[in-house]
Structures are given as structure tokens and as C-alpha cells.
Amino acid sequence: MKLKDGKKRKITSKSRLIEIYRNPLGHDLLCKVGIYFRKDRRWATRPFVRLLKLEAILAVAKGFGNEFLETLLRLINSTSTSISDKKLTQANESEGEARAWWKEAVIYQIYPRSFVDGRDEDGIGDLHGIITKLDYLKELGIDCIWLSPIYDSPNADNGYDVRNYEQIMKEYGDSNDFVELVNGLHERGMKLIMDLVVNHTSDEHEWFQHALNEPDSKYRNYYFIREGSKDTPPNNWDSCFGGSAWNYYEKQGVWALHVFSKKQMDLNWDNPDVREDVENMINRWLERGVDGFRLDAVNLISKMEDLPDGNKAIGQFMGYCGAENYFYGPHLHDYLNELSTKCFIPHGAFSVGETPGLGMEMSKLITDMNRDELNIVFNFDHLESGGHLRFDDYEYNLNWYKDYMCEWSEHYCNTHQMALYFENHDNPRMISKISRNPEHRTLLAKLLATLLLTQKGTPFIYQGEEIGMANKKFSSMDDIEDVESKGVYEKLLKETGSEKKAFAAILAGSRDHGRSTMQWSSAAYGGFSIVKPWFETDDDYLICNVDDQLRDSDSVLNYYKKLIALRRENEDFIYSDIKIVNEHVYNYYSYIRGGFFIECNLCQRTIVKPKSVPKKMMNLVKVFGNYNDNEPTRLRPYEATIYRIVKEHEHYE
Ligand code: TEU
């Protein structure tokens, strides 16, 4: 809210929720609080509730004391933008939506270590392996691949700890393989986006080695290095991989900050030299033919000045302490704008930010096409049902996803684009989160494919998702590779004293479920390699693999192919608005995209269609779905169908 002199009114504990809601950060924080308490996202806008004062809400929310209130107010008042920025957006909308290849593209994420072991047969995936699968990807209909990091790395976090940005990781190949890969993609009309990990570097990166060992070098200020005694870290922040976010170096008598593992040291983006080095590095890759980047944990790059202690209540809420001081830091917008103007825009490069913790309004600011920051972002709010964290053992409720999509679709305008995804290398397989019943596997995989490829946004498919790969059958911590899972296990073991409980959490949330080797065939090791892979899991490849599915016209893989082709042939799936129909019917999700009607059952029971729908059926012709026959009045478990609207429709509600 603006005062008469144009200044923004300060938000205080006496402010009403609706006033806070008008501030982008305030809006998103209120949503997060709602998610935590399993309220619906729009709880703060309901009649009466919207008029409550902040202090009244906090009085009922036990455990959130004064300190929490102060942190909240500091954060909200520190943002200079307000939701009225939407005006910018709406002005543009009347001119129609700008076209862009990355809105039309279907993007496929490759986790190189687990994709294909090509040339050297060492049980580790590599660039040559990827090259041998380019035709497979082209036939599937993929327009662009995103490669998880392939830079030189000691692999503390499988490449997300970069030792040298200029070199290709030895196990993956060399610069000739890289050139062959870029050419192979471009010859096929496909594009390449690389992972850009610049919130931190490996502790083995030469910048960090100089910083640590040469106190007077210019690199000292490239990181957050603080002198001090061994007993007291500079603040109370936790690493999101478990333990303190500070590592002590005995020999040098200093602490250094790492939000992730203790081999991933946070770069100090407030130092202009850091930004310049990073920008030059990015431009070198763009000159080598890269078409864009996925920017790792990029909303973490701007840390609050003086690195203040984290609020304990927020720490509890997030699972680790300190995040409010860096997840949406004071210079985030400036730094993103600088990257965009110095690197992405001059090269016409695409950018997708990985932005853990950001909500809808903050994401809109970052991706508004008038602000020149990022093209799109990966939001995380749909990945767990309300009130749950990834390591909770529970069944995901798809109505949560519907609610999320309804809200975002309502507020995202033509000047923003959503990134649509269910899986990546940081998450278990989505179908396993929803149901572990093997009878649902194929149905669910096809339902998710339908959602991914027919809603409005840029779809990202994660390797293996296209054949319906499921979670792995790990039997103990000996089967686990991931640095995060190991850290979280130690933490939970300390907290609960129970190996069983700690392992149950790992089994539910481990990133290793998505990092197992790709299942190409029923040959030994799933055709991933001819030698024992770096990460051996179970024998699911015998019943779920690419070769078998290529031969089966009814397979998940062929369903993906058909859907991608349908999307390509019909721009309705790209540029038409999404109109949600019967939004309030639980377990039922249906929407119109231009000349198409999509209808889904979100649960494992048969449900009756809303009364108004069957009447309209005469105007619809089934294109295809995950059941081959049709039932006019009911939807079977996880049923998903795409219809063409053949007659002028008016209302489907
Ligand atoms: O992830 C950032 C991130 O915050 C999370 O997704 C994270 O992996 C996890 O959920 C924390 O609890 C990115 C990468 O995608 C991830 O693989 C890396 O480990 C991480 O950054 C550090 O580079």
C-alpha cells in the first residue's frame, strides 16, 4: 500500500493480512505458513481472515514468538517491489503473448553419471553415451536437453561441487566429446542447456585454495571466510545437508561458509570480482554453442549483510536454520539482472533458475519478461503435500497439485511462463510418492505425462520418467550414495536414536531414487553399461526398460511420444490459456486448452464425473488417454483423457 507521498507503508504487527498479502514477499510467506499448517494457499484472503492483524495470527500460532515476528517484518519491509508491478504485466498482455522457443520446447534432463556408459566402460555414464542416445531423444520428440553438471569435480555432490569450470569431468570425456555432443544436438535441431553451479564452488577450486591459504590474496573475499576460535562458528546457520553451515580449518584458524556440503563453499556475490569472473566463464560456454543454463540454487546468491543468526522457529519450519538470510537476499534481483544483461540477453540464451523456497509472487518478479532477470524458475511448492517435508514417509495427494496449479494458472499471465515438472535428480520418483501399488504404476505414469504435457508451461522430463521408473528397493544405508541422504541420516539418528526411523525417512525422500542408472534393456545392468555400474540398485529393469517399451504400443514410452507429438502439432497446448473447469470438485481435475478438453481422476478410486460433464460429451471426441475404452459417467482410478472439442462449447461447469 502506498502513502500519499508515494512511499510504501511500513508493514507492522498491526498491519492487516490483506495489506501484507499485497507485498510479494508477504504474500509468499503467508502462503508458506498456510502450507506448513496444511491450510489452502489462499487462506489469508478469505473474508474476515483478510482483515485480521498479523499479531492476532501469531498469537494463535504456537511456537512462533516475537523474534519470528521481527524477522518476518524485516524481510517483508526489505522488499522494494509491490504486487502492483502486475500493471506492467497486464499492459503487455493486451499485445498477446510473446513467442519463444523455450515455451514451445519439451526439455529432457540428463543426469550424466547415470544415463549411459558409452566409450570407456568404467560403469560411469559419459558424454559419448549421451551422443549414442540422441536419436532416441529426437524420436521421443525432445527439443532440448539439460545436462546436470559435467565440469571437473571431486564429486562430493556428483558434480554440483565444481573444481574447474573450464574443464570437462574426466570420467565424462573431454572437450572433443563436448563439441561432438553440441554438434550432434544442433544437427538434429535440438538445443543444449548446461547446469550452472555458481552459488558455490568445490573447496578444491583454485579460488578457494587461494582464499584459504593466502589471507592477503584477492581471493580471500571471494568466499565467506571468518577468523575465530574453533568452538564458536560465526553464526547459527545449518547446512541443508545436516550439521553446521560453517567448516573450521584448523591450520588456518578460520571458518568458511557452506550452505550445502562442507566441500561446497559459498561464493561471495557482493564482491564484483566474483561476478565478473563468473560472467566471463558463462560467456565462454555460450560462445562454445550452449543455448542456455539451468542455474543451480540461484536464489541463494545474495546473503544478508553481516550474516545474522537465523530464527529458530523458521529453522524448525524449514528443517535447517538461517535460510531467511539468503533465500531471497537483498541484491538478488540486481545480480540476476546483471547476469542477464551481460550474458544471457547478448547471446539470446535461455535461463531457468532453480529457486528453492521462492513462492509465486517472488517467482513472478524474477521471471517477468519486462524485468530481464530469468526466463523461468523451478518452484518447489508442489513437490510435497501441505505440511510435509521430503523425508516424511507419506502418500502424496494429487489434489494438492491441482490446487497449486489452479492458483498459479490464475495469477501467471502472458509475461511469465511456468516450468512444469514432477521429477529431477533431487527427488524420489513421483509415481512412488503417490502410490506404491504396482497396479497403479503405468496408469499413474501416463496420468502424470498428461498433466506435464497439456497444462500451460514448459515441460521438463527427467530421465527414466518417460518409461515410468519407480523408487528403488534400498535395503540399508550401505546402498545409499548421496551426500545429502548420508547427512540427513546422521542427523535423524541423533535426534531419534532409532536406525529404523532414520532409514525409513531416507527411503521415503532420498535423492538416490532418481539417480539410479537408466533402464535401457533387460540385459545385465539394464543395458546401462557392460560392467558393474557406479551405483547398482535393483532388477526393476527386467520389467521396465526402454527396449521393451519401444516394442509395446501401449507402453508409457509410446504414450509420451504420442503426447509430445500432439503438443507439437497443436499450439493450443503452448499458447492458449488454461481454463480450469469444475475447480471445486475434489479428486477431479479438468481443463480446456483452446480446442482441447482434458479430464483426470486424481485418486485411486473410481469417481463419478460432475453432473454437467456427460451432457457435454457429445461435443467431445476422445483423442487418447490412459484407458483405451471410455465410460461416459465415471472416471476409473487415475484415469486421464484428452478430448478434442468438436462443437462450439459454452460452459463445462
Ligand atoms: O539443489 C538445491 C536445493 O536446495 C535442493 O533441491 C537440494 O538438493 C535439497 O533438496 C536440499 O535439501 C541444487 C542441486 O539440484 C542439488 O543436486 C545440489 O546438491 C545442490 O543444489 C547443491 O549444489
Three-state SS letters, 116-148: CCCCCCCCCCCHHHHHHCHHHHHHHCCCEEEEC
Measured from the CB, is residue 574 less than 6 Å from ligand 1? no
Ligand 1: residue of 196, 240, 260, 379 to mutate (most ligand atoms within 8 A of CB) is 260
240 secondary structure, DSSP code:
T
In this structure, the number of other CB atoms found within 10 A of the CB of residue 329 comes to 21
**Alpha-carbon distances, residue 90 vs 86, 136, 368, 495 (angstroms):** 6, 41, 11, 50
Identity of the residue numbered 135? D
pLDDT at 62 over 70: no
pLDDT for 88 equals: 46
User: Please, which pLDDT band fits residue 242 given cuts at 50, 70 and 90?
Assistant: confident
Burial of 472 (0-12, 13-18, 19+ CB in 10 A): buried
Between CA 264 and CA 279 the distance in angstroms is 20
Mean per-residue pLDDT, 30-47: 78
Nearest-CA residue for atom 6 of ligand 1: 426
Q: Assess whether pLDDT exceeds 70 at residue 651.
A: no
Query: How large is the average pLDDT for residues 41-52?
Result: 80
Segment 413-431 shows an average pLDDT of: 94
Cα 409–605–599 angle (5° rounding)? 35
Q: Give the pLDDT confidence score for residue 305 in this predicted structure.
A: 95
pLDDT-wise least confident of 267-271, 318-322, 468-472: 318-322
Q: What is the pTM of this model?
A: 0.94
- Catalytic residues, which ones? 296, 354
7 falls in which pLDDT band (50, 70, 90)?
low
Residues 414-418, mean pLDDT to the nearest whole number: 89
- Closest CA relative to residue 30, chosen from 46, 40, 44, 51: 44
Mean per-residue pLDDT over the chain, rounded: 92
Q: Please report the pLDDT score of residue 4 as a whole number.
A: 47
Angle in degrees, 0-180, between the axes of helices 360-367 and 24-36, rounded to the nearest 10: 140
Q: Which residue has the higher pLDDT, 14 or 209?
A: 209
Does pLDDT of 91 surpass 50? no
pLDDT at residue 292 in the model: 98
CA–centroid distance, residue 297 to ligand 1 (Å): 7
How much distance in Å is there from the Cα of 79 to the middle of ligand 1?
25
Beta pairing, strands 292-295 & 350-354: parallel
Q: How confident is the model at residue 428 (pLDDT cuts 50, 70, 90)?
A: very high
In which band, very low, low, confident or very high, does the pLDDT at 648 lie, cut at 50, 70 and 90?
low
The residue whose CA is least distant from atom 4 of ligand 1 is 356
Residues in the chain: 653
pLDDT of residue 616: 65
What spacing in Å lies between the alpha carbon of 354 and ligand 1's midpoint?
A: 9
Q: How close is the Cα of 426 to the center of ligand 1, in Å?
A: 6
C-alpha grid cell, residue 390: 521430503
Ligand 1 pocket test, pick from 153, 296, 383 with the greatest ligand atom count within 8 Å of Cβ, gives 296
Confidence of residue 450 (pLDDT cuts 50, 70, 90): very high
Ligand 1 within 6 A of 591 CB? no
CA 247 distance to own-chain centroid:
27
Mean local confidence (pLDDT), 348-377? 95
Q: Is the pLDDT of residue 94 over 70?
A: no
Average pLDDT over residues 628-636: 92
- Model confidence at 621, pLDDT cuts 50, 70, 90, reads very high
The residue among 544 and 28 whose pLDDT is bigger is 544
Taking residues 515-528, report their average pLDDT: 97
Taking CA atoms, 244 is separated from 254, 263, 472, 511, 624, in Å, by: 14, 13, 30, 21, 52
Residue 99 to residues 95, 369, 417: CA-CA distances in angstroms?
A: 12, 12, 11
352 lines ligand 1 (CB under 6 A): no
Q: Report the alpha-carbon distance of residue 126 to residue 140 in Å, rounded.
A: 21
4 burial via Cβ count (<10 Å: 0-12, 13-18, 19+): exposed
Q: Is the shortest distance between the CB of 195 and ligand 1 below 6 Å?
A: no
Ligand 1 touching residue 240 (CB < 6 A): yes
User: Could you tell me if 410 and 45 are in contact, meaning their C-beta atoms sit under 8 angstroms apart?
Assistant: no
Number of separate helices (H) and strands (E) present in the chain: 24, 22
> What confidence tier does 329 reach under pLDDT thresholds 50, 70, 90?
very high
Judge whether 460 and 419 are in contact, CB under 8 Å: yes
* pLDDT surpassing 70 at residue 606: yes
Q: Is the pLDDT of residue 626 over 50?
A: yes
CA gap 374, 356 in Å, rounded: 15
Distance CA 165, CA 282 (A): 9
| 157 in contact with ligand 1, CB cutoff 6 A | yes
pLDDT of residue 65 exceeding 80: no
Could you tell me if the CB of 572 is within 6 A of ligand 1? no
Higher pLDDT, 410 or 7: 410
E strands, 540-639, are: 578-581, 588-593, 596-601, 607-608, 620-625, 634-635
Average pLDDT estimate for 429-433: 98
The residue contributing the CA closest to ligand 1 atom 17 is: 426
Percent of the chain with pLDDT over 90: 77
581 Cα: distance to centroid of ligand 1 (angstroms): 35
Closest by CA to 414, choosing from 223, 252, 182, 576, is: 576
pLDDT of residue 162 exceeding 50? yes
Q: Contact, 304 vs 205, CB < 8 A?
A: no
94, burial (CB in 10 Å: exposed 0-12, middle 13-18, buried 19+): exposed
CB 172 near ligand 1, within 6 Å:
no
**Per-residue b/e over 104-114, b at no fewer than 16 CB within 10 Å?**
ebbbbbbbbbb
> Can you tell me the mean pLDDT for 621-634?
94
| Separation of alpha carbons 195 and 146, rounded Å | 7
Cα separation of 115 and 287, whole Å? 26
| Whether residue 2 has pLDDT greater than 80 | no
How far is 406 from 505, CA to CA, in rounded Å?
Answer: 30
**Residue 87 has what pLDDT?**
42
Mean pLDDT, range 510-525, rounded to an integer: 97
Rounded distance from Cα 405 to ligand 1 centre (Å):
23
pLDDT of residue 317: 78
Q: Is the CB of 238 under 6 A from ligand 1?
A: no
Give residue 652 CA to ligand 1 midpoint distance, Å. Answer: 41
